[in-house]
Amino acid sequence: MTLFSPIAGMLALLAFWGLAWRNRPILAFGIFLGVASACVVAVIVRPAGIQHVPIWLPALPFAVVATALLYFGVLAWLWGRSR
């Protein structure tokens, strides 16, 4: 019973990837490259345990998204002013 959820999730993601491959091959190729690079990084960078996690690491995705939104907002503001 413990293997049912991961297997079902993997099959669902594989079905979504197949749907993406059929409708938008470029998106599916990008998904493939992202998963392949994540697998390589996961093999190279082994988890050291919860004791060695820096305090800033859990908040890093939120900071990256906020910075990207700020960047795109400034770009939209500057491009909108010039028109």
Secondary structure class of 63 (helix, strand, coil): helix
Burial group, residue 51, by CB count within 10 angstroms (0-12, 13-18, 19+): exposed
* Element counts in the chain: helices (H) and strands (E): 3, 0
In contact, 20 and 28? CB cutoff 8 Å: yes
Alpha-helix runs per DSSP H in 24-59: 25-44
Residues 57-71 have pLDDT tens digits of 889 999 999 999 999
Residues 6-22 have pLDDT tens digits of 889 889 999 999 999 99
